[in-house]
Amino acid sequence: MKIEDRLFLNRYRADEEHPHLKIKDMDVCKNCKDKPCINCCPAGVYQWDGEFMEVKFEGCLECGTCRIVCPYNNIEWEYPNGNYGILYKFG
Amino acid sequence: MIEFDVVVIGAGPAGLAAAYKLAKNNIKVAVIEKGEYPGSKNVMGGVLYVDPLRKLISEDIADELIKAKAVERNVIEQNMWFISDDGLVKGGHRNEKWKEKPNAFTVLRAKFDSWFANKAKEAGALILPKTKVEDFIWENNVICGVKTSRPEGDIKCKAVIIAEGVNPLLTMKAGLRKEDLSPKMAAIAVKEIIPMPKEVINNIFGVKESDGATLEIIGSWSQGMMGIAFLYANKNSISLGAGVLIEDLMKNNKITPYEILDNLKNHPIIADLLGDYRKTANEYMAHLIPEGGYYSIPKLYGNNVLVAGDAGMLVNSIHREGSNHAITSGMFAAETLIEAFEKNDFSESFLKRYVTKLENSFVMKDLKKYRNLTSIMEKNHQFFEVYPSLINDSAYRFLTVDGTPKYDIQKEIFDMLRTRRGLLGIAGDALKFWKGVR
């Protein structure tokens, strides 16, 4: 199953105006060789287009993996505001 | 500004256990939860042991859980499978006694946590959902409340219990943890809820109507990474998940957590087991599991503050025990604060007795016992790579009848063990494993 199909199963309340994940300095990502956030994120939130790290925070499962794997501590990570973000019906 | 005796951060098993106990003792407690309702953001594999709830609530809690439909199935059989690319060696245990006195239930957290929150509410706790704790309120370097995401949402209190879960953001803000989690201290686990008719589930696990079973799988699906997969029987679905140590996933740097889960699903034996149901799912989730054990535990107490559950890294991953540690530590945190209210002493030196309670219980005793096992396992990937294939190939050779005399077959197996791991290697691994669990 593709990650898009998996995320489509879930219910989210995205806070479009307040992304809860941010790249602090794009140059740091440019110089990061392995970019572990891309492979380690279970929701495929991070995508590198050669110049820019796209952060699809809307599909975030709020696990915290990217925060731990970024070797340069370059991700500003917080939980979405109260009542926003992932909403599991089974859990 | 509103005032409570105690503020609990997080409506998971640790926070709710603490709130329940405090409220039962007429202490004014508020539980702050960022999700829409308790359980809406909570994830675990799905096995909940009953014993801590018997101690916290009542001896008859198993019946109540079933009646309230807060749990899925009563686990009467637990299995461990070792798979290679093409083989499977099974181990397991079923017991009739578990039918009479349930030991564990499979659960879906959205349902169970909602039930538990209602229990705390009935006892007198206030549950404040849709609210995030942003920071603490400090007075003379001592925590005396929390700042929440709500407008004018500051709450004053005498003590705070941090039960925020595995990401220790507030534990660090409280000064109880200096360093964040590192990639060797946590596993990333992903899980799918796969809907299935009851009869199919009963067939897969070999159980009847309300009985449940668990299945843990070690082997080739993890591609040598330290990890464990699982299949749990719910009422009308199965929980299928896989987790690997983050450090190993970083080193691999090619595969994503969900591709690892697909590896497992596409294993011919697992694919046979699940049939076409493996192509559907109701929900997909991810969660970190604290794997650091004893050495990763932060300071669990300070002036006016205690840490419980995953935030305290109180997980015994070898026995997949986490929620029972959470409930037990939450209960101890509450007991400690009840004593603190009696003495009107919330100082660090008084609250230290929380750790004594943990040390005198199975929680810290087990974590201490296994303190080196995780690091032994993470340095010795043969436990996840070589051995599952070795035992499968040995079993295959031993059980295949092709006219070879048994003496020669045993010699072949012996040679296989010698070339693929070495006799000294096997002896050394046995010793390492023994050192880890003794």
pLDDT > 70: percent of chain A? 100
Residue B319 pLDDT? 86
**Segment B10-19, tens digit of pLDDT:** 999 999 999 9
Residue B11: predicted pLDDT:
98
Query: Does A1 score more than 90 pLDDT?
Result: no
Among A9, A41, A82, select the one facing B284 at the smallest CB separation: A9
- Rg of chain B over Cα atoms, rounded to whole angstroms, equals 23
A80 CB-near residues (< 8 Å, 6+ apart): A15, A18, A20, A60, A62, B34
pLDDT > 90? residue B434: no
Q: Does the structure show a pLDDT above 90 at B424? A: no
Confidence of residue B436 (pLDDT cuts 50, 70, 90): confident
Amino acid found at A23: I
Of B166, B192, B250, the CB nearest to A36: B250
- Lowest mean pLDDT segment, chosen from B29-33, B297-301, B404-408, B431-435: B431-435
pLDDT at B423: 86
Report yes or no: B99 and B209 within 8 Å, Cβ to Cβ. no
State whether A7 and B256 contact (CB < 8 Å).
no
CB B166 within 8 A of CB B311: yes
Examine the pLDDT at B379 and tell me if it is beyond 90. no
**Nearest CB to A82; choose among B130, B166, B255:** B130
Beta bridge partners of B48: B105
SS3 B244: strand
Q: Which residue among A36, A62, A91 places its CB closest to the CB of B110? A: A91
Q: So what's the pLDDT on residue B438?
A: 80
Non-local CB neighbours of B239 within 8 Å, separated by 6+ positions:
B45, B46, B106, B108, B191, B192, B193, B194, B230, B231, B232
- Give B220-244 pLDDT, tens digit per residue: 999 999 999 999 999 999 999 999 9
Look at residue B19 in the predicted model and tell me its pLDDT: 98
Mutate to test the interface with B, among A41, A69, A88 (most CBs of B within 10 A): A88
Percentage above 70 pLDDT, chain B? 100
Cα separation, B168 vs B18, in Å, equals 18
Average pLDDT over residues B161-173: 98
Reported as a single tens digit per residue, the pLDDT across B64-122 is 999 999 999 999 999 999 999 999 999 999 999 999 999 999 999 999 999 999 999 99
Residue B378 has pLDDT above 90, yes or no: no
Q: Taking Cα atoms as reference points, which of B190, B36, B188 lies closest to residue A12?
A: B36
Counted across chains A and B, CB pairs separated by less than 8 A come out at: 139
Asked if A79 and A21 touch (Cβ cutoff 8 Å), the reply is no
The DSSP result for B143-199, as a single string, is EEEEEESSTT--EEEEEEEE---SS-HHHHHTTS-SS---TTSEEEEEEEEEE--HH
Whether the predicted pLDDT of A55 surpasses 90: yes
**Residue B261 and residue B270: Cα distance in Å, rounded?**
11
The band of B169, judged by pLDDT with boundaries at 50, 70 and 90, is very high
> Could you tell me the pLDDT band of residue B203, with boundaries at 50, 70 and 90?
very high
- The confidence band for B359, taking pLDDT boundaries of 50, 70 and 90, is very high
Residue B117 phi, psi (nearest 5): -65, -40
Which stretches of chain A sit within 8 Å of chain B by CB? 1, 3, 6-7, 9-10, 13, 34, 36, 39-44, 61-65, 67-69, 78-83, 85-91
- Checking if the pLDDT of A21 tops 90, the result is yes
Q: In this model, does residue A23 exceed pLDDT 90? A: yes
**B309 with B13: CB under 8 angstroms?**
yes
Give me chain B's average pLDDT, please: 96
Determine how β-strand B155-162 pairs with β-strand B29-32.
Answer: unpaired
- pLDDT for the residue numbered B381: 85
pLDDT at B86: 95
